[in-house]
Structure 1
Amino acid sequence: MSDYKAFRVELADKIAHVAINRPDKINAMNADFWPEIIEIFNWIEATDEVRAVVISGVGKHFSSGIDLMMLAQAGNQQGRDVGRNAEKLRRMILTLQASFNAVDNCRKPVLAAVHGYCLGGAIDLISACDMRYAAADAQFSIKEIDMGMAADVGTLQRLPRIIGDGQMREMAYTGRMVGAEEAREMGLVNRVYADHAALLEGVMQLAREIAAKSPVAVRGTKEMIRYMRDHRVDDGLEYIATWNAAMLQSEDLRIAMAAHMSKQKPEFAD
């Protein structure tokens, strides 16, 4: 693992803990953040020892979203030609989208542990994760509307598949703050923990449970869930039949069956 400017990355118990590490700036997503998260998830993809990923924030908050200085700089670089400005802005937006696509496309489960502020671009980030968990002090807001813009890095595309359409629209149109318990009720987060310490302990325990399962089985399960976002039921059934025609020949199946029958904990290869 490399040294990162916007993140702290640790690997223990087959879990990659990816922490946004700009606490003095409320973990705002600056220019370093976007290429680094792609680099980190490329490493996660290439490292078989990693079985699960936890994303959190260092300090008092998860993240306040995109760094406003970064947006201001983009505005200052505009010239007088509307067409050229639009082309430059479009390339920038697609580059930012690629950062969270790397999270969404990760073949290992990604768990978000949210405390304090989770605003704007941070909603885009957690929407790209498999599951979301919150401390009691967590506050969520699709804040872009208050900045005079539409969210453009994944929230409006991914969040309707996580929470109800009407709830998503209300958050997107108003930018209002949603507390942890309301977020749990609407399905944005799975569980709420008393504080930041309990949140990290609980999410790490869930990640360890996932990491103890067959990585072949976890990989196949995630792939099928992702595939079904954009396909019909019969397409999904055809795909899992073809997938498992190969994967059911894995040694993991024999190990899991033997462990179940002997009531022992299975040990799977990376």
Structure 2
Amino acid sequence: MEEYKSLKIIQKSPNSGVCFLYLNRPSHLNALSGDFFTEFPKAISSLDQNPDVAVIILAGSGKHFCSGIDFQTLNNALKGSYAADCGRNVERLRQHIKFLQEAISALECCRKPVIAAVHGACIGGAIDIITACDIRFCSSDAFFSVKEVDLAITADLGTLQRLPSIVGFGNAMELALTGRRFTGSEAKDLGLVSQVFTCKQALEEGVKLVAEEIATKSPLAVIGTKAVLLKSRDLTVEQGLDYVATWNSGVLLSDDLKEAISAHSQKRKPKFAKL
């Protein structure tokens, strides 16, 4: 697999279909560097296109998941070759922000499920990342903060768009306006994470079991479920039903369906072709 400066990819069990993608700047608390925003969408795309990968687990190396965006990355966004015209400077900055946003949105563009495994700090830009993941778990030492307001920034990489549908509008408003730290236990109560594990090791082992269970299922059904759920956020119920009807009309009559029915009748585990 390709080598990255800010990331590390490990497939611990080659036959499981589960791959770990680590934020890998532990000496900097995995702060999001300029390299990250270039490398992350490439890594996600490569895993998406890899037929041996069915589920991706996103975790952090070292003591923390991610401390947010690197201050140097912020500084780089505010300097550079400025035009004399203010309007052109504004447009340059807008395009840079869009570039950063696209790196995070790569998680939703990925057909395959991405599960966040959070330990230690999950601050600022890290919240942008986990809210774009499909499922989230954490360890008991995890703590979270929508920190941007304390840095005189309006969070702009996805938290304000995705967090309300996960924890509710009022909760998202309170967390974003105060920037306060909250625990893994509160994150569970809010619905931000599905389960809290006792420690980092238990977290990775537990998340791996969940991922492996998902990886045994029909890949067509899995990517379809993710795609339809994401699309349905922006649709009425009637529109969502029409969308899934169209989706299933294209993939329902697949070999996966035949295999699932056959395995059920024969009381065995189904075996599906890789995607």
Under TM normalisation by the shorter chain, which class is it? over 0.9
Summarize the alignment of residues 200-219 of structure 1 with structure 2, pairs less than 5 Å apart.
Answer: 200-219=204-223
What is the one-letter code of the residue matched to 2:3?
Answer: D
What is the one-letter code of the residue matched to 2:214?
Answer: I
Deviations along 1:72-99, whole A, 9 cap, x unmatched?
2332337464323212211110000000
Any idea what SS the aligned residue of 2:34 has? coil
Any idea what SS the aligned residue of 2:265 has? helix
| 1:7 to 2:7 alignment | yes
Point out the more displaced range, 242-251 or 147-156.
242-251
Instruction: Find the counterpart in structure 1 of residue 174 from structure 2.
Output: 170
Instruction: Find the counterpart in structure 2 of residue 253 from structure 1.
Output: 257
Q: Give the alignment partner of residue 220 of structure 1, picking from 218, 224, 240.
A: 224
Summarize the alignment of residues 16-165 of structure 1 with structure 2, pairs less than 5 Å apart.
Answer: 16-77=19-80, 79=82, 81-165=85-169
Q: In structure 2, what is the Cα distance between the partners aligned to 1:222 and 1:135?
A: 25
Point out the more displaced range, 164-173 or 231-240.
231-240
Instruction: Find the counterpart in structure 1 of residue 193 from structure 2.
Output: 189
What is the one-letter code of the residue matched to 2:68?
Answer: G
> How big is the alpha-carbon RMSD for the aligned residues of Structure 1 and Structure 2?
1.2
Identity %: 46
8 Å contact kept, 2:78–2:93:
no
What is the one-letter code of the residue matched to 2:206?
Answer: G
Q: In structure 1, what is the Cα distance between the partners aligned to 2:164 and 2:141?
A: 24
Which structure 1 residue ranges, 4+ long, deviate > 6 Å from structure 2? none
Segments of structure 1 that go 5 or more residues without pairing to the other structure are none
Shift of 1:209: 0.3
Shift of 1:152: 0.3
Shift of 1:243: 1.8
What is the one-letter code of the residue matched to 1:9?
Answer: I
Count how many residue pairs are aligned between Structure 1 and Structure 2.
Answer: 270
Segments of structure 2 that go 5 or more residues without pairing to the other structure are none
8 Å contact kept, 2:25–2:61:
yes
Q: In structure 1, what is the Cα distance between the partners aligned to 2:218 and 2:122?
A: 32
Shift of 1:258: 1.7
Shift of 1:212: 0.4
State the TM-score, normalized to the length of structure 2: 0.95
Q: In structure 2, what is the Cα distance between the partners aligned to 1:74 and 1:216?
A: 40
Q: In structure 1, what is the Cα distance between the partners aligned to 2:76 and 2:249?
A: 52
8 Å contact kept, 2:32–2:69:
yes
Deviations along 1:134-186, whole A, 9 cap, x unmatched?
00000110100000010000000011111111111111001000100000000
